[in-house]
Structure 1
Amino acid sequence: MLIERDVIQRVEQSLSHQAAVALLGPRQVGKTTLAMHVGNRRDALYVDLEDERDRARLRNPHLLLEANRHRLVILDEIHRAPEIFPALRGIIDKGRREGFRTGRFLILGSASLDLLRQSGETLAGRIAYIDMTPFTAPEIAQDRTGEDRLWLRGGFPDSFLANSDASSYEWRRNFIRTYLEREISLFGYRIPSETLERLWTMLAHRHGGILNASDLTRSLSISTHSVGRYVDLLADLLLVRRLPPYHVNVGKRLVKSPKVYVRDSGLVHALLEIGTIEQLAGNPILGMSWEGFVIENLIAVLP
């Protein structure tokens, strides 16, 4: 089953106006597949920064990138080599003077934290940011049974397209385990996976509720500072959303605590060990799960 991603049009449009485009989304959301699709329409060079051989090619980034200045260069998992951003700035500025003003780099990142911090310092005015979410309801609208399946399984392609609910559930449980045990350490964090899994699970139980750091502190036996840092990390990894309160008084907005949602409904259900629509229907999380599902779909289609 081939599902056309709406975000591809935004990527193409941004490449026609900007020298660099950063496509941000969690692991396994389909960034590489989409980038290769874009690259196949152009004369693109793909560089996987998780591959040691490709990282070695970028030890002298000017040499490789200047040699391919006529091509779109796709840099995948950019967080593995944030030190190349200063080189990108120089190459982009030189290219502008030589007439190569747009469509130079498509940068893929699995988190916002390092990427935004690095590129915000060095590529201001030279880069467009695009969020890539899991599948959304409009994207699977032609599938008559797709909405309930999307809600239950979430929108990660391998989960949504699995042959059965059981296979989908197993994929999501493995995704959670891999993220906690391997992926987070790749970003330079040393946090016990058991602690982070307990926090993530507690956030799923409190899905759509006001963030109560004191309550989480007592339950996890860690400091309030650590709770805040770990929630920040899950948000920066694009796995959790903090929804700030709306109030006419801006000052009150700043002091009130946000609501917290696990961004993908399928991950909510996997964290709570909900594997079927029947189990979901009988679970107290039903209403808040639907609320979070609707919120994520609305945000995904905002211009």
Structure 2
Amino acid sequence: MIHRNLTAELDRAATWAPSITLTGPRQSGKTTLCQAAFPDHPYRSLESPDDRAFAQRDPRAFLAQFPRGAVLDEVQRVPDLLSYLQGIIDADPTPGRWILSGSQNFALLESVTQSLAGRTAMHQLLPLSWDEIRRFAQYPASLEDALFGGGYPHIHNRNLSPSDWLRSYVATYIERDVRAIGSVGDLTTFQRFVELCAGRTAQLLNYSSLADDCGISQPTAKAWFSVLEASFIAFHLPPFSMKLRKRLIKMPKLYFHDTGLACWLLGIRESEQLRSHPLRGALFETWVVSEVLKHRTHGGRSGGLSFYRDRHGAELDLVVEEPDDLTLIEAKSAATPASSLLAGLERVRPHLQDLRSRCDAAVVYGGEDVQQRTPGRLVPWRLVRSAAPPEVEPLVQVFVDGRPVPDAGVLAVFPDRTWKSARTDEQGRATMELLPRHLPLTVFVAKDGFAAHEEPAWIPDERALHVHLRARPGAGAGVFEGVEPGSEVPVVVKRKAVTIDLVEGAHRVLELDAAEGPDPTEPGWARRRRFLVRVAKVLDGAALVEYSPADDQPATNP
């Protein structure tokens, strides 16, 4: 089982909320996550006929089995149980006792709203995000495989064929979940409606057009789409709203939560079909938007996402709003980093960049290189996470032999070769504020007596980057600030200063008296020892310099 990004939010909720309610699509990993996050809680699923019958027949006795709380799965199957749980929580509001989960958002939310309002922390677990998928030993190697495979955990955990698994998933969804709703009478027509929605992913949500193409009324189309939203199959993205701007489009856009499911509904049975499929661009846009949504949802954020389109044709796929920041994101499936990919940003950014104190812009595209252009960054699809604003404070923690290392130098180098630095505290932690344009970053950690550490292409998530330094007697490294490329800088090696030109790759051999180096009484040591001083990294205003013994044996006397 891999680590899910929502775990940190559940842990936080368990410190203050007497109950936690977890919703999400069927088979998104809710049961696995609940059991992993709360291993000491008893687990019961109300899908089990015996447990469900017991809970329906005698809810008080059922709940009395768990004096310290429990994980109760599929609780929407016995909605009356929550009324009895309300009394238990009111009598003992100890945080983190009751963990509730369910797949039918419409039924579960109605029950929670009626019985547990103000007593539960609500969270959603969506299918796997790309950075979660990459934690598996095997993960999609190409963009087409990523779009086709989607994010349902069973596909990746068991290395299953997406087509085979999704065929069963759709059949179960239509025959079981939708039938249970009752308001959908014609299941065959409803499946046709779902397929039509898949063909309109990343397009404006036009109920009239959907109704006409499906042969149903417009109110029915609206009701059926609400079913797709409540069961986490699809969602709508609202248009960006600005006061006094009447020229903006007011119709929302339709997206699927999972591109693998959308592909199956569109009749795509092999990932290679996506190389030339007419909906490749729409599916890629769906993937990018859903990735940003997952990132925010699993980080405990809601709302703040919209798209921009005006009546003059200017449009942008995604606007991410924060109190002080705007992030503008465009999705382009082309693999070549051409200037034309930034045309949308160039047209829209002037309308929005003055609305916040900071405005960042990025195009996520189907290529492999990070590039900084004047309108914004070009971000390869593999680094889609770096296009969205970080939701947590980036953190590096440095250890040696399991113990924190204080006063280590941390140098973060960004794609445009700008940088920030910090030093670790007594707990070995270093923090710094990052913006989306800083990602991915390369992290260098330097400390006297240890080999320097380099972590390339790192993207912060809710977990700290744990760096384990390797002790190396006689060696060390340091981060120098306020220096310029090409200048000389004094480097202190074993209490002796030496100057070296700040040219990347430059090196100098230094000879030290044994008394200034390691213990001169150590067997085999002569009077002098040779050290190699090397400039590992040079930036505008900062440098990383390493030193180490020039050879494994003590130098001989001259």
TM-score of the two chains, using structure 2 as the length reference: 0.50
Residue of 140, 149, 156 corresponding to 2:152: 156
The question of whether the paired residues in 2 share the 8 Å contact of 1:247 and 1:253 is answered with no
Which one-letter code corresponds to 1:228 in the other structure?
Answer: K
Q: Structure 1, residues 231-262: CA drift from partner, whole Å, max 9, x if none?
A: 00111111111111112039979992211111
Q: For the pair shown, which has the larger CA radius of gyration, 1 or 2?
A: 2
Which one-letter code corresponds to 2:273 in the other structure?
Answer: Q
1:282, CA displacement in angstroms? Answer: 0.9
| Cα distance in 1 for residues equivalent to 2:247 and 2:89 | 39
1:287, CA displacement in angstroms? Answer: 0.8
1:162, CA displacement in angstroms? Answer: 4.9
Residue aligned with 1:106, SS: strand
1:61, CA displacement in angstroms? Answer: 1.9
Residue aligning to 1:51: 48
Q: Structure 1, residues 20-44: CA drift from partner, whole Å, max 9, x if none?
A: 101111111111112222342x1x2
C-alpha RMSD over aligned residues? 2.2
Residue aligning to 1:194: 188
Distance of aligned partners of 1:50 and 1:211 in 2 relative to their CA distance in 1, 3 Å threshold: same
Unaligned residue ranges in structure 1 (runs of 5+): none
| Cα distance in 1 for residues equivalent to 2:181 and 2:221 | 18
Which one-letter code corresponds to 2:292 in the other structure?
Answer: L
The question of whether the paired residues in 2 share the 8 Å contact of 1:66 and 1:91 is answered with no
Residue aligning to 2:99: 106
Distance of aligned partners of 1:105 and 1:94 in 2 relative to their CA distance in 1, 3 Å threshold: same
1:147, CA displacement in angstroms? Answer: 6.3
Distance of aligned partners of 1:192 and 1:287 in 2 relative to their CA distance in 1, 3 Å threshold: same
Seq. identity, %: 31
Which one-letter code corresponds to 1:51 in the other structure?
Answer: S
In the TM superposition, what are the counterparts of 1:118-157 in structure 2 within 5 Å? Answer: 118-142=111-135, 145=140, 148=143, 149-157=145-153
In the TM superposition, what are the counterparts of 1:142-221 in structure 2 within 5 Å? Answer: 142=135, 145=140, 148=143, 149-163=145-159, 167-221=161-215
1:163, CA displacement in angstroms? Answer: 3.7
Unaligned residue ranges in structure 2 (runs of 5+): 300-558
TM-score of the two chains, using structure 1 as the length reference: 0.89
- Indicate the structure with greater strand content: 2
Q: Does 1:66 align with 2:60?
A: no
| Cα distance in 2 for residues equivalent to 1:253 and 1:12 | 44
Distance of aligned partners of 1:250 and 1:155 in 2 relative to their CA distance in 1, 3 Å threshold: farther
| Cα distance in 2 for residues equivalent to 1:254 and 1:20 | 41
Which one-letter code corresponds to 1:139 in the other structure?
Answer: E
Residue aligned with 1:82, SS: coil
Residue aligning to 1:33: 32
The question of whether the paired residues in 1 share the 8 Å contact of 2:207 and 2:222 is answered with yes
1:123, CA displacement in angstroms? Answer: 1.2
Distance of aligned partners of 1:55 and 1:253 in 2 relative to their CA distance in 1, 3 Å threshold: farther
Which one-letter code corresponds to 2:147 in the other structure?
Answer: W
> How many residue pairs get matched?
293
Distance of aligned partners of 1:280 and 1:162 in 2 relative to their CA distance in 1, 3 Å threshold: farther
The question of whether the paired residues in 1 share the 8 Å contact of 2:127 and 2:153 is answered with yes
The question of whether the paired residues in 2 share the 8 Å contact of 1:135 and 1:156 is answered with yes
Q: Which has the higher contact order (CA 8 A, sep 6+)?
A: 1
Residue aligned with 2:216, SS: coil
Which one-letter code corresponds to 1:152 in the other structure?
Answer: F
The question of whether the paired residues in 2 share the 8 Å contact of 1:141 and 1:147 is answered with no
| Cα distance in 1 for residues equivalent to 2:235 and 2:103 | 15
Which one-letter code corresponds to 1:16 in the other structure?
Answer: T
Which one-letter code corresponds to 1:216 in the other structure?
Answer: L
Q: Structure 1, residues 97-154: CA drift from partner, whole Å, max 9, x if none?
A: xxxx111211111022121122112212110111101110111335674563332211
| Cα distance in 1 for residues equivalent to 2:262 and 2:248 | 27
| Cα distance in 2 for residues equivalent to 1:146 and 1:200 | 29
Residue aligning to 1:21: 20
Distance of aligned partners of 1:147 and 1:80 in 2 relative to their CA distance in 1, 3 Å threshold: farther
Residue aligning to 2:377: none
| Cα distance in 2 for residues equivalent to 1:95 and 1:202 | 49
